Structure 1
Amino acid sequence: MAIAQNCHQWLSLLICALAVLQTRAAIIYRIPLTFPENATAMGAVCLDGSPAAYQFIKGAPEGQDNWLIYMEGGGWCQSIEECKSRTFDHKGSSKHMMKNDFFKGDNDFMFGGMLNKNSKINPTEFRKWNIIIMRYCDGSSFTGDVEQPVNNLYFRGKRIFEAITNELLSKGLKDAKQVFLTGGSAGEVFVALHCDRFHKLLSNTTKFKCLTDGGYFIHAKKDPKQAQGFVSMFKDVVSLHNSTGMLPQTCTQKMKDKPYFCMFPQYVVRDMVTPIFILMSPYDAYQMNITLGHEVYFAVRKSYKEHVILPTPIYDVLKGFRLQFLDALPPSKPSNGIFINNCFGHTEIATTTWNVDGDRVNNVIDWMAISDWYFDRNEINLIDEIDLIKDCIANGYLASS
């Protein structure tokens, strides 16, 4: 009797475990890294000298001529010390890009949201396409171009971009029917910087558009203290990584002695030829922390997580910044798409909660807006007119005192 009972308990546990694994499998894939041929010989290496890498999910038979490319984000390193620290995790070394229980910094990429093949998670047409994740390990949004290593660090973002892109072109990207270049955070900055450059690599018959997610960080010109965070960061990144040559000339020619301003998407997008979709929140958590400071960020985080009232003075600062953000958006034109929600968070399209019901503007959800825009079904110019911060998962706005 006892044996039967124990067997029943173990069977129940096994069934539960399988259910968890099936649920997890619907969200996370175990996709091996692909290293570009001769990456190390070409100098296309991460900060620690390990070879650059990408991940590839083959599309369905009807989607193999179409490519969704996602540029991984992960901030920047602006000093030797910061770049050195990144070599101990996936942001500076391909050795740490796949899960290893013995190393805390190792991780698998979570193929959430728009990058998932499950129709319940990703209802868009893009799930049937070839999906590429260009892994980020150079700390400069793929702009670094230093010939010799410095303190055993390699600043080779440009070569990584070129090595992976050239390999993908040889594997069918060159003659693709449709291509969508996307990215989040620092990956979004890459998209803004390289969108037109990438477009020129493709066939003239390829339908090509770009999407930026959670990285339209603005230059807060109205307040020098607010501007200091990103200006200082971008200045140091461009100097350390020798990035100027990879910044769009349409911008650097105007900025002249301040080329690092061209890391701000607002100074690049205005001259962009390729259609681009801007998905962003004026209350982006990363921008809030860098631009408005830790006190504001943690106050909003507390209000969001603990459902407490946000002090009015802090809310006033946030609303003022929201107006600056809206002013920094490019002029509206039919070929571009804009979807500005008020979500407190950072990036959307590659997360497991990207299509939550609260993620709507004028009753249009983000994934539908993106699809309709790419496939020319609708022009998209949607901005949440309510000036309050939104908890998009709970589908409600944060109150003030």
Structure 2
Amino acid sequence: MRMKVFVIAALAFVSLVSVIDGSEHQAQLSEFVNDALFSSVSSKQLSQPQPLMVPITVINGAAAKGAVCLDGTSPAYHFHPGSGSGANSWLIHLEGGGWCNTIRNCVFRKTTRRGSFKFMEKTLPFTGILSNKPEENPDFFNWNRVKIRYCDGASFAGDSQNEANQLQFRGQKIWLAAIEELMSKGMQKANQALLSGCSAGGLASIIHCDEFGSMFPKSTKVKCLSDAGFFLDAVDVSGGHTLRNMFGGVVTLQEVQKNLPKSCLNQLDPTSCFFPQNLIQHVQTPLFLLNAAYDAWQVQESLAPHSADPSGSWNDCKANHARCNSSQIQFFQDFRNQLLNDVKDFSKSSPTGLFINSCFAHCQSERQDTWFADDSPLINDMPVAIAVGDWFFDRKTIKAIDCAYPCDTTCHNLVFK
């Protein structure tokens, strides 16, 4: 099976670098990378029948509860009701899209769909794990499927404000308001429920996993899926800790520690407890980790960001792994080894699931071509959708870990142009 490569056009990259500096540059560039990663589609997808388009729904009374986006507008979600055997099954998917860690880049974020209802798309395509077609989504196609929009900048976990700059950090309240409304729409009667999320939403699905589970009676089958949400506390190419510094800003600015597990905070500082490697041991609800071993977002923004590589010596490599030299590939192999070490104890627990493929990819549950298609990525001839379904329904134990790059010829690797 031939390896697929998906090209992401960085058409605004040069102008961004030339006109913006400092944290605002980093915020806009990071937002650009996020947008590119989340909107990437293949030419094959474009030729397929149009996906289900689902309209946006404003959360009723959210503002009165203080549950608002960064700019004070109301949060929202997209909902497609279940039917038949899935009428009492619920899939809640948390949208991703990075974080904001300074006043300046949170103010910028207010002018995007990741900080304001005003800029959100009013309809979204439901593909991958959200698809309503059995041939695209064999296990969850007829469930009640919800995508909660992300507009707080702290993985639905902050709870503070900055009055001087008119910023509301209300991710936790948004999460609770959304769940409360969905409960009133029938989710309280669910016989099975899955909380999933991608990227920053994948981190959120870990943070809120037990909280989600606690909202249902013990008779309800509840599990969680984190897609591309396992962000490593890794050393960047300059020997610094770019992501730890950024997470530290998010946690401090948005007071995320209020909503992190007390059992973790009793052992570690709040920033450490925002990293999945330290969170997963405190999650009791069954959790599945879906991650590319060479996560494309982490390569771009954590391992080799411009701040750690001002000379641009990593630009070719991080845009296209085929242009990496042997020492750069070894750097990525060390990153993969850290990931595998971080999940070693987690993988020993029987209720947990793993699908770690050796691809340069990001968010594989949302895209149809990586979730379930004729040429989807495979580990041991198993696509992501089947792995997740087998795990959720207890059909099989799933601890799928790929061999190291370049062994996997089924990857849908992302290439920045």
**Common fold, TM-score beyond 0.5?**
yes
Distance 1:212 1:394, change over 3 A: closer
Note the C-alpha offset of 1:375: 0.3
Residue 249 of structure 1, aligned match among 262, 277, 280: 262
2:381 matched to which residue of 1? 363
- 1:69-109 CA distances to partner (integer Å, 9 max, x unpaired)? 1000000001111111112221001111125xxxxxxxx43
Contact 1:343 1:389 (8 Å CA) reproduced: no
Matched with 2:354 is: 338
* Aligned residues of 2:299 and 2:318 also touching (Cα < 8 A): no
- Which of the residues 246, 251, 254 maps onto 1:233? 246
Q: Answer yes or no: is 1:27 the counterpart of 2:27.
A: no
Instruction: Verify the 8 A CA contact 2:130 2:141 in the aligned structure 1.
Output: yes
Map Cα deviations across residues 100-122 of structure 1 (whole Å, 9 max, x no partner). xxxxxxxx433221111123332
Is residue 380 of structure 1 aligned with residue 411 of structure 2? no
Give the aligned residue type for 2:251.
Answer: V
Q: 1:63, CA displacement in angstroms?
A: 1.1
Q: What is the alpha-carbon root mean square deviation over aligned residues?
A: 2.5
Give me the TM-score of the superposition, normalised by structure 2.
Answer: 0.81
| Amino acid paired to 1:172 | G
**2:316 maps to what in 1?**
299
Pairs aligned (count): 362
CA apart distance, 1:33: 1.7
Deviation at 1:330, TM superposition (A): 4.3
Distance 1:159 1:34, change over 3 A: same
Alpha-carbon deviations, 1:135-170, whole Å to 9, x = none?
Answer: 100001111111563411111111111111111112
Q: Is the 8 A contact 1:358 1:392 kept in 2?
A: yes
Distance in 2 between residues matched to 1:377 and 1:204, nearest whole Å? 20
Please give the alpha-carbon distance, in whole angstroms, between the structure 2 residues aligned to 1:270 and 1:296: 37
What does the per-residue CA deviation read over 1:189-213, in whole Å, with 9 as the maximum and x for residues that have no partner?
1011110111111122110000000
* Of 327, 352, 355, the match for 2:368: 352
The percentage of counterpart residues that share the same residue type is: 35
| Structure 1 position 156 matched with structure 2 position 141 | no
TM-aligned CA distance change 1:195 to 1:302, over 3 Å: closer
Q: Is the 8 A contact 1:174 1:202 kept in 2?
A: yes
The answer as to 2:293 corresponding to 1:269 is no
Aligned pair in 2 of structure 1 residues 237, 309: CA closer, same or farther (>3 Å)? closer
Partners of 1:335 and 1:386 lie apart in 2 by 25
The corresponding residue for 1:79 is: 102
Question: Normalization by structure 1: what TM-score?
Answer: 0.84
Unaligned 5+ segments in structure 2 are 1-43, 306-311
- Residues in 1 aligned to 2:69 and 2:279: alpha-carbon distance in whole angstroms: 26
Alignment of 1:152-231 (within 5 A): 152-220=166-234, 228-231=241-244
Partner SS state of residue 239, structure 1: helix
Shift of 1:247: 0.9
| Greater C-alpha radius of gyration | 1
Query: Relative to 1, partners in 2 of residues 1:243 and 1:21: Cα closer, same or farther, differing over 3 Å?
Result: closer
**Aligned partners of 1:289 and 1:296 also within 8 Å:** no
User: In the alignment, which residue of structure 2 is the partner of 1:318?
Assistant: 332
Alignment match, 1:39: 62
| Separation of aligned partners in 2, 1:146 and 1:394 | 39
Q: Which has the higher contact order (CA 8 A, sep 6+)?
A: 2
Output the CA distance in 2 between the equivalents of 1:92 and 1:293: 26
Whichever structure has more strand as a proportion of its residues is 2
Report the equivalent of 1:111.
126
Closer, same or farther: CA 292–226 of 1 in aligned 2, 3 Å: farther
